[in-house]
Structure 1
């Protein structure tokens, strides 16, 4: 059975509606799925009914974005099996509102930077679904070659940032997920050019419980993966995931698997048998 416990919809920075995401998941043969939009649960409860109609077991989820701290860029913590009540939604709204205001300032600074680098640059507009996607699409329209890796370097450039009024730490993310009745999962530990061993220790210290295997073939924005060809990329993905399996077993963490799908260019689903992992614990988190 294929599973995918980390996908996005147009309610955050994904391109597709929940209906399209679930239809694509069914077509891909996925039996267990979680929609984990960034700091947002607006896909629920609609997604639960859609998944039930498609014969897919759905785990209510969210992906929390944490602040840069202790030498780590933007660690993402997925919460699986969380509640969807008004208190949860209100707490998430505070995070999203603060980031939206910051993103508006970042987009202004980014456009000014690109206008200097590319004379005649037509400013990118809008922060939804994300500044990252909108700027890349804008560059393509203008015939300007900006890679995902180059764009990520700009995203991580402190000189372009705008202050964020309110952010949460890894400790706060883990604590909140547990308060909301969920299980905290370390998402794609090798992403954002982080040192995975440092990220894992940070997650363990916060009381994290699960770590994610990922389709890193889609993470070409990172330092390690941006220079690799297709064959090398899949080999490196395997190495990263095998490291994660070994680290999880060493520290007594559970495992899950995900594509981090944002659009139709990323195929959903991974097979637990490929890495010989036990994901039966996920069953108890499915929506009833």
Structure 2
């Protein structure tokens, strides 16, 4: 079967609307899709009518960018039911930090003699503000020729206009997802480049690994499947597609064994039932 549990839309930093993502998935014979936009669940709400029309199973999901031992660690949260209000409030806090960070980057670009309008960045964003929207504004002004150039010369990690985001560690992100009745999955573990960090995330309580990933080698896929089996973790699959015109431009859909989705669905349903008596409380770290 073909599924894709890691796709982005214009609700964050993708170039296709949620409905367009669903339609493209249907054209690729994808049966289950999850919109994993950064710090928002809005894409799934917008995509629901399109998914119903074409008969695709649509999951509520979100991507949380965290940091561990100097590496970026992406936690994907999946939900069988709508998460509680306190989780939405947590996401709004993350969104507000994105606004702060984007304004800081715009200010630093101005100091470098590359002024762009934050208002224009917001227009380009549609939903969540992210660095690709800043890169797009830079391209419009003729400062760079591509997103890659924008990242490498100005707004990528270590570049002169880069601004740090508010720190979020994997353990906290995992705790929030699980307390909201979801499953927390480590996205593209092979891209971290350090399996010691993968082990740290496993010890932090991760529920699953994205073993099937568009840019994993066959050897990496096999390795993370073995790790998932060793620790009794869920296995997911994703393209991390962002639509045309993005650095991560690739087709939607990942072929997987037929038993992968039923096994993941069982874990999803069990997660919300296990947490249901405590859903309104939030994670322990919130007090």
TM range (shorter): 0.7 to 0.9
- The runs of 5 or more residues in structure 1 that have no matched partner are 116-120, 217-235
* Structure 2 residue aligned with 1:197: 195
TM-score, with length taken from structure 2: 0.77
- 5 Å-filtered alignment, 1:178-193, equals 178-191=178-191
Shift in alpha-carbon separation, 1:163–1:138, aligned structure 2, 3 A: closer
Distance in 1 between residues matched to 2:146 and 2:43, nearest whole Å: 32
The answer as to whether partners of 1:189 and 1:199 remain within 8 angstroms in 2 is no
- 2:231 paired with 1:251: yes
What residue number does 1:69 align with? 68
User: Partners of 1:147 and 1:87 in 2: how far apart?
Assistant: 35
Identify the match of residue 262 of structure 1 among 242, 247, 251.
242
* Separation of aligned partners in 2, 1:168 and 1:271: 32
- Structure 2 residue runs of 5 or longer lacking an equivalent are 270-287
| Partner SS state of residue 75, structure 2 | strand
4+ runs deviating over 6 angstroms: none
Question: How many positions carry a matched residue from both structures?
Answer: 255
SS of 1:266's partner is coil
Provide the rounded CA distance (Å) in 2 between the counterparts of 1:5 and 1:61.
8
Change (3 A) 1:161 1:56: same
Report the counterpart of residue 105 of structure 2 in structure 1.
106
Find the counterpart in structure 2 of residue 11 from structure 1.
Answer: 11
Q: What CA distance in whole angstroms lies between the structure 1 residues aligned with 2:70 and 2:76?
A: 20
CA distance in 2, matches of 1:168, 1:253: 23
| 2:282 equivalent in structure 1 | none
| One of 241, 265, 271 as aligned partner of 1:283 | 265
Which one is further off, 251-260 or 276-285? 276-285
> Aligned partners of 1:137, 1:242: CA distance in 2, in Å?
40
SS in 1 for 2:12: coil
Checking the alignment, whether the CA contact within 8 Å between 1:255 and 1:277 is kept in structure 2 is no
> Does structure 2 conserve the Cα–Cα contact (< 8 Å) formed by 1:178 and 1:184?
yes
| TM-aligned CA deviation for residue 174 of structure 1 | 0.5
Equivalence for 1:93:
92
Against the structure 1 CA distance between its residues 142 and 150, is the aligned structure 2 distance closer, same or farther, given a 3 Å change threshold? closer
- Give the TM-score normalised by structure 1: 0.77
Counterpart residue number, 2:27: 27
What RMSD, in angstroms, separates the aligned Cα atoms of the two structures? 2.9
Q: Give the equivalent residue in structure 2 for 1:222.
A: none
